[in-house]
Amino acid sequence: MKKKLLSAAMTASMVLGLTLCCSTAASAAEAADSDVAYIKEKGSLIVGITDFAPMDYKDEKGNWIGFDADMAVKVADALGVEVKFIEIDWDNKILELNNKSIDCVWNGMTLTDEVKNSMETTEPYLNNAQVVVISADKAENYKDEESIKDLKFAVEAGSAGEATAKELGLKYTAVTAQSDTLLEVKSGTSDASIIDLLMADAMIGEGTSYPELTHTIELTSEEYGVGCRKGSDLAAFINEQFDALYKDGTMQEIAETYDVAAALIAQE
């Protein structure tokens, strides 16, 4: 009788072990196929950014804030994980995604054809444009595309600004970040720069670190989106959160905090 009980116990233990093994394997397979499951399992949403007000920038305490940063926190909360922000070389954003150094690119990213072909992207959430930034005392002379042909520009490597400069056949130097292009113009190393309109509104003019700079013509009209790994289910999850946060007024409230409400795109 004892042998039968021992045998039954051993059989039950083996069945339980196989069940747990299969469950673990299924969980691993799910995480491998699903970025949402993978992020939940590791407990963090890693967001690739650059220092770009009003989207992602640091406050006096060194914490990342901004429209994109605050929205990323809301999405991480919905996932039940913490959010981690990592500054990346913008030109390497696709590589960073594919090698899983980051889970998404969320930094006022223009939805270009290249971006949409190489990433799984969300629906657009903010309108934007590429604008010319130049010294205010020279602005009157540069109000159309023809007038800027002979200027030397600074642009961020891998950005929509660089793509615009290429398309227009402009002379330019590529630097690491959009904020660096402003230093180039201020120092006189470059005549002008091409950056995002939303950044220009936040970082140049009266009351900023660049009161002597202004922006003139809009060279493009574009939209921002979040980029995830190609085929990732994270993009659809973020879309769901955009929809919910727009409907309950949270998205509007955050946009007003960072003065980008006028650029907000309605989420359906």
* Beta carbons within 8 Å of 177's beta carbon, 6+ residues apart: 50, 51, 52, 90, 156
* CATH architecture label of 130-220: 3-Layer(aba) Sandwich (3.40)
Whether 1 shows a pLDDT value over 90: the answer reads: no
Question: Hunting for tokens 């673990």 — which residue is that?
Answer: 24
Q: pLDDT, tens digit, for every residue of 35-87?
A: 999 999 999 999 999 999 999 999 999 999 999 999 999 999 999 999 999 99
Whether 7 shows a pLDDT value over 70: the answer reads: no
Q: pLDDT, tens digit, for every residue of 114-135?
A: 999 999 999 999 999 999 999 9
* pLDDT for 29: 45
CATH 3.40.50.150 assigned to 36-126+225-263: no
Residue 54 C-alpha from the chain's centroid: 12
Q: Among 257, 205, 203, 201, which Cα is nearest to 66's?
A: 257
* pLDDT for 25: 47
265 or 14, higher pLDDT: 265
Q: pLDDT, tens digit, for every residue of 142-201?
A: 999 999 999 999 999 999 999 999 999 999 999 999 999 999 999 999 999 999 999 999
* pLDDT for 19: 54
Range(s) of the chain covered by CATH 3.40.190.10: 36-126+225-263, 130-220
* pLDDT for 2: 46
Q: Which residues pair with 208 in a beta bridge?
A: none
